[in-house]
Structure 1
């Protein structure tokens, strides 16, 4: 079973040389810490940053340099800052190659709910709806179940949707899954996790073909 850093480390393997990548709030922000040193990747944040680096070490934070989640970040040589209109122009113009988001729920058809729980105060959707509407490659980083032990990979989302049929891949603490027309296809297991444990934690249709390998972490 993986922790949050393990999920981010596995997703970092999906990042390719030359990619422009948007990192959502939460686990996705950790991905920048695990990208290979031998590839060139530009991380974009919708508050107006292109060229984000790893999180700063304690004592080296600059309160003026933050991501969309208001976390302090570092920037790489050549990084640039711009207004939100320009940032969302990049997103809506489909200039981002990969979007990595957290989620509260994902449905077997690729629907995602990641911004609101009815009855709880939220500050707003942020850039999530623009990201899921514009990106062609969306990976979700999340825990497989909620705090009550209930599956977050569902037949249908119960929470207000952020996007419809847009998720391509999901990496959880238990597994890597691809969203297909037939449902969630199990691609890899987390170290020490069995297929039966993944089945028990997945409400939506789960497709298991042949031997499922462990994640290459």
Structure 2
């Protein structure tokens, strides 16, 4: 496993701690799709996809894909016993009624107030905003998984988003490759850090002010 994969799985493992039995959880594409690989087998979780599946399992092994089974990103999936299918209108109805307990999304930028910008880079071809717009507003809890900085080393955590917003004031918890932040009473708060990264390093790589929790958890895995 290369270092990049290790970091992504570390972030996914931390996100899996937000999941408890009985939840309906929606996963975005990218790093969030790794989250199910880190759940203990005794957790009873229903993974929801906007295209109309409730009850997805792990990614299928190569050559064992079912051409009729995919997630909202078009990637092959498996289903668990008790899974059900619906049309996308019902899947979106579940989101809009607040029936999704947790959504785990990737992002391009997150602001210090918890604004989310994850759907477009101006000038790039894009199919549309998709379900993230509604998930960000209507899921009971919104977790974001993203690298702390972009490939040029520029902070993706910003004072205010420069990219078009997906939704405002919606992020509850932000997990990066360096740290975990929570939006507490409208303010970005550092609550955990991944070893060996220091608070000083996290501060230097974050382009906005944030509060620092009194007892910061150090994540060693």
- What's the Cα RMSD here? 1.4
Deviation at 1:136, TM superposition (A): 2.7
- How many residue pairs get aligned? The number is 217
Q: Counterpart of 1:123?
A: 127
Moved more, 86-95 or 50-59: 50-59
- TM-score for both structures, normalised by structure 1: 0.96
Q: Counterpart of 1:27?
A: 31
Deviation at 1:109, TM superposition (A): 0.5
Q: Counterpart of 2:83?
A: 79
Q: Counterpart of 2:203?
A: 199
Deviation at 1:182, TM superposition (A): 5.8
Q: Secondary structure at the match of 1:5?
A: helix
- TM-score for both structures, normalised by structure 2: 0.94
Q: Counterpart of 1:162?
A: 166
Greater relative contact order, per chain length (Cα 8 Å cut-off, separation 6+): 1
Q: Pick from 178, 181, 195: which aligns with 1:174?
A: 178
Runs of 4+, deviation exceeding 4 Å: none
The separation in 1 between residues aligned to 2:161 and 2:82, in whole angstroms, is 41
The separation in 2 between residues aligned to 1:80 and 1:167, in whole angstroms, is 29
- Matching of residue 96 in structure 1 with residue 100 in structure 2: yes
The separation in 1 between residues aligned to 2:186 and 2:204, in whole angstroms, is 18
Q: Which runs of 5+ in 2 are unaligned?
A: none
- Matching of residue 6 in structure 1 with residue 10 in structure 2: yes
